[in-house]
């Protein structure tokens, strides 16, 4: 009988450093999501086609707003103006859906099985936001490619592209964390999608992502100052312009980073609330 409890210890006991475990688990779960995406080629293709359509569609639809008095995009075309906007918008809309993976895991027994295993809760959040960020990076580069092919030119060069990628990834982290937290709290697909849409659409439109807020009503300008989507669009656009004003870019990236950290932390906390409901 006493042999039973000592039977064949297969495992490296939980003596492993928590930080190492956190990183390893994050990597496993990111790989799981990426692999799953690559196995759904139609879905993977849509994640790339959608931002291209938005870029070309909005680029045509609102082409002439650039002539509205007060629209102060220094030089260049509306396409150049909305390229960073569409990139941020794509990150925003894709990440709003992030929580649906959790709901699927809950509807199956995957979530309970993981939570009954010594998985790092933080890594569960990082796994999904890292996956969203990887998707965002690919989408961003594709949108830049299409914009370039359509004649857009960006004076900001490599640093401009880098800032855009970082800003879009931070928006992904913020929104995916939010979506995950909501998923853990409401535990229902319809409710998650409803809440996500309710938040995402206003964030999109009360920002400078496709419209210069200087031609918007004053209240929009005021509200936009507190809107992370506006921070990301404004920072990316400034970084892509000639003579980048880093005083515009860096504080906004800093705020986005802080918000991303806070939102991921809140999402990790939401696991406790979820487990209390079990």
Partner 1 sequence: MSQPSRPAVVARELVKSYPGGRGAAPIRALDGLSFEIAAGTVVAMLGRNGAGKSTTVKILTTLARPDSGTATVAGLDVARDAEAVRHAVGLVGQKPASDPMATGRENLVLAGRIQGLSKATARQRATELLDRFALADAADRLAKTYSGGMARKLDVAIGLVHRPQVLFLDEPTTGLDPEARAQLWSEIERLTIDEQTTVLLTTHYLDEADRLADRVAIVDAGRVVVEGTPDSLKSQLRGDAVHVELALSSAAALPALARVPGLRDAVLEGTRLRARAESGARAVPAVLAALEEAGVPVSSVTVARPSLDDVYLQHVGRAFDAEQVAA
Site residues (CB under 8 A) for partner 1? 1-5, 7-14, 16, 21, 24-25, 28, 32, 35-36, 39-40, 107-110, 112-119, 275-276, 278
Task: In angstroms, give the least distance from the CB of 90 to partner 1.
Answer: 23
108 by Cβ neighbours in 10 Å (0-12 / 13-18 / 19+) ranks as: exposed
Complex with partner 1: residue 37 or 215, whichever CB lies closer: 37
29 by Cβ neighbours in 10 Å (0-12 / 13-18 / 19+) ranks as: buried
Complex with partner 1: residue 7 or 218, whichever CB lies closer: 7
Complex with partner 1: residue 107 or 245, whichever CB lies closer: 107
Task: In angstroms, give the least distance from the CB of 39 to partner 1.
Answer: 5
Complex with partner 1: residue 109 or 157, whichever CB lies closer: 109
Task: In angstroms, give the least distance from the CB of 47 to partner 1.
Answer: 15
Complex with partner 1: residue 48 or 114, whichever CB lies closer: 114
Task: In angstroms, give the least distance from the CB of 6 to partner 1.
Answer: 9
**Helices marked H in the chain — which ranges?**
2-6, 18-38, 41-61, 78-96, 99-107, 110-115, 121-149, 157-186, 189-205, 218-224, 228-240, 246-276
Task: In angstroms, give the least distance from the CB of 251 to partner 1.
Answer: 39
Complex with partner 1: residue 218 or 278, whichever CB lies closer: 278
Task: In angstroms, give the least distance from the CB of 184 to partner 1.
Answer: 13
Task: In angstroms, give the least distance from the CB of 229 to partner 1.
Answer: 30
Complex with partner 1: residue 21 or 237, whichever CB lies closer: 21
* DSSP line for 90-127: HHHHHHHTTHHHHHHHHHTTHHHHHHTTT--HHHHHHH
* DSSP line for 177-210: HHHHHHHHHH--HHHHHHHHHHHHHHHHHSSSSS
Buried b / exposed e along 10-22 (16+ C-beta atoms within 10 A): eeeeeeeeeeebe
Sign of CA dihedral 203, 208, 212, 217: positive
CB-based contact 29:120 (threshold 8 Å): no
């Amino acid at each position: 009988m006493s042999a039973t409890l000592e039977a064949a210890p297969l495992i490296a006991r939980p003596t492993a450093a928590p930080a190492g475990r956190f990183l390893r688990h994050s990597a496993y779960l990111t790989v799981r999501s990426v692999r799953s995406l690559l196995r759904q080629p139609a879905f993977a293709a849509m994640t790339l086609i959608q931002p291209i359509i938005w870029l070309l569609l909005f680029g045509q639809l609102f082409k002439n707003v650039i002539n509205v008095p007060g629209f102060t995009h220094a030089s260049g075309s509306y396409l150049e103006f909305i390229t960073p906007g569409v990139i941020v918008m794509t990150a925003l809309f894709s990440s709003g859906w992030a929580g649906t993976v959790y709901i699927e895991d809950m509807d199956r027994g995957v979530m309970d099985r993981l939570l009954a295993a010594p998985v790092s809760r933080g890594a569960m959040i990082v796994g999904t936001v890292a996956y969203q960020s990887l998707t965002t990076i690919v989408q961003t580069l594709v949108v830049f490619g299409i914009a370039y092919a359509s004649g857009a030119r960006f004076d900001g060069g490599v640093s401009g592209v880098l800032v855009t990628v970082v800003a879009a990834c931070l928006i992904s982290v913020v929104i995916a964390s939010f979506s995950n937290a909501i998923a853990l709290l409401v535990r229902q697909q319809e409710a998650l999608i409803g809440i996500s849409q309710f938040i995402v659409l206003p964030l999109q439109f009360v920002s400078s992502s496709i419209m210069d807020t200087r031609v918007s009503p004053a209240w929009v300008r005021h509200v936009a100052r507190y809107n992370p989507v506006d921070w990301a669009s404004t920072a990316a656009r400034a970084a892509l312009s000639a003579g980048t004003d880093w005083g515009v870019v860096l504080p906004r990236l800093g705020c986005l980073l802080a918000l991303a950290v806070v939102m991921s932390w809140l999402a990790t906390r939401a696991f406790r609330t979820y487990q209390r409901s079990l």
